[in-house]
Chain A
Amino acid sequence: MHGLDNHNDNGWLSDALGEQEYSVSGSSWDRLSTRLAALNRARARRRRRKAVAFAGITAVLISAGSLTAYWWNTSGLGKGDVYTQAETEGRSGSNHYLSDHKGLDPLNPAMYSGEPANQQIHSTDGTSLVEALPLIERKITSFEAGFAPIKQPGSEVDRMNGIPPFELGDVQPATPVSTSTKIELPTTERRFQTRFSLYSRILPVNDLSSAKNAEVQTTDDVEEYLVQMPGVNQVFSTPEFSNPIEIGLSVSQQFSRRWFVDAGASWMRINSSSRTPFYKGTQTLRESVVNQVGIHVGLQYEFIQKGRFRAYASTGLSAYKVTRVRSRYEQYVNDEVIHRSTQNDQPQGTTSFIDVAAGASYNISGNFDVYGEGSIRLQQDRLLDIDVPDISGFSISGFKLGVRYTVK
């Protein structure tokens, strides 16, 4: 079957057709660049969605872990509630429940005297019951000590527990009490802290080389005019960011031993520079100073509280709004400035984020702490319609340094 399985007689065909060239239409690149830009935007969207999903899952995991840790740490505190009247009555026959607690002496005669126990019951180390109870459970606001009719000395249970029998005459047994005696204890107040923090956030600026394909929506008259010209249907520019500064103030309120709710506001300033080439030798340089204000709310969980040192994880939401963009324009033709102008752009929309952070603080003196925090900031929504403060310019990770004043 000649020529079916070898290419020997087709070499000339390959030579003749293989290097053939055809002219490409002028609109071909425009079509392609539009498709590439759309692809890049779609990729960026996918990346953002993944990031948001990751942040959400991380936030849920941190919250779940923190809650579990909280419940685990506080699960023992509920024991105080066990000693309610019902159980007290169930166990008071041998008075063992008191001997369970911090050296309280069940043999103290005062326990059987019928006198108000909060004045007369003492532990073996001399601590009054009132003083000892907070050690058992701070959350108990009332304590019901039930005294059922006392068994005769030397009962079986007492013997089993090594309690020597009473000798009649040594101690006057208490009058049997048929109803429980309620002992009102002073409420133990938990002092929750309020913290005021002043911080500065460092936001590394990203290399935007991968974002250069992004189609830029123009905002100034010159660009709009050029876009309307034949053959110019898109304007591309490459924004470069520098000198980001963010200063903020926040208030944290403790609502349990390890949990804090945090809210605050911040101000941010960043410089932006974009150079937009148009026709041969013609380009526009725009240098802007962007100001934005932000607010945030979040939850913080302190998982290490050791001496002066605290370590915590937090998650929350923040939103930023551009308040002012002051821009300086320079138009060049062959490196010669032909036009200069300044313009205050209108305030823009808001951008919201999910913040996940971990940090540590150290108490330096009295009420003052210094703290540092690493955070991941994931974009939730973007409403900006100008390129200048394009958030793609910022790293998703940031670092915060601050000083904190605690009202104790």
Chain B
Amino acid sequence: MDDKQLVKACKKGNVKAQKALYERYAPKIKGICMRYAANAEEAEDILQEAFIRIFTKMDQYNFEGPLGAWIRRIAVNTSAEIYRKEKKVRNQADIDDYSNQFHFTDHIIADLNAKNLTEKINALPDGYRVVFNLFAVEGYSHKEIGEMLGVSENTSKSQYCRARAALRKMIEHEIEVFNARVG
């Protein structure tokens, strides 16, 4: 059964189709949820909430664009909305403090595998984590992130800077520990 047939069946409330859709997309969506959540339990809650919205808003999907992208967008929006409701984004920081301090061009973190990187992202404070994901992974602009999270554009930028700084610090620390063991 392809996506189109699945969607049609889901729109009619077919439980089997819903289960098939869930089994097809839940692992990918959980990957998204894991990046936005602090831990696996929180990720599971976001996953549940995202799929509730997917099934209840299924009528709005009109087969424009791939289903996976539509589901992914709902999952990201759900994560952002949950985060916004909990008001975890800190107030605007002084962006100037972070200007020109952080450069990913050396791709230090590129050496890490995806799972290791996700663990580090999970370890970030909530605000950093969400903004980092939305900007660096999902590709939203700071203006869009500000609207999604109910914060200013500058707050989004500052959160992103802090996130990068924190990630860099964590990775550098890990490298130091590794070198100390080897050396």
Contacts and interface: CB of A to CB of B under 8 A. Distances in A.
Nearest to B44: A28
Interface of A is mostly: helix
Contacts of A20: 28, 31-32, 34-35, 114-115, 118
Contacts of A33: 15, 18-19
B137 A14 contact: yes
A36 B55 contact: yes
A14 B138 contact: yes
B141 to A, nearest CB: 8
A55 B107 CA distance: 67
Which of A23, A31, A212, A213 has the most CB atoms of chain B within a 10 A radius of its CB? A212
Interface residues of B, number: 52
A17 B117 contact: yes
B13 A9 contact: no
B27 A22 contact: yes
B22 A19 contact: no
A7 B136 contact: yes
Interface of B is mostly: helix
B160 interface: yes
A212 B15 contact: yes
A2 B109 CA distance: 17
B47 interface: yes
Contacts of A1: 95, 98-100, 157, 161
Given A20-B31, A22-B31, A39 B56 contact: yes
Contacts of B51: 32
B52 A210 contact: no
Interface string B121-135: 100000000000101
Given A4-B157, A17-B114, A22 B30 contact: yes
A24 interface: yes
Chain A interface size, as a band, is: 35 or more
Nearest to A4: B157
Interface in A170-218: 209-213
Nearest to B27: A21
B13 A16 contact: no
Nearest to A23: B27
A20 B33 CA distance: 10
A225 interface: no
B10 to A, nearest CB: 11
Given A3-B103, A24-B47, A35-B48, A213 B15 contact: yes
Contacts of B103: 2-3
Contacts of A16: 114, 117
B104 A29 contact: no
A167 interface: no
A16 B116 CA distance: 11
B83 to A, nearest CB: 17
Interface of B: 12-15, 18-19, 22-23, 26-28, 30-32, 34-35, 43-44, 47-48, 51-52, 55-56, 95, 98-100, 102-105, 107, 109-110, 114-115, 117-118, 121, 133, 135-139, 141-142, 157, 160-161, 164
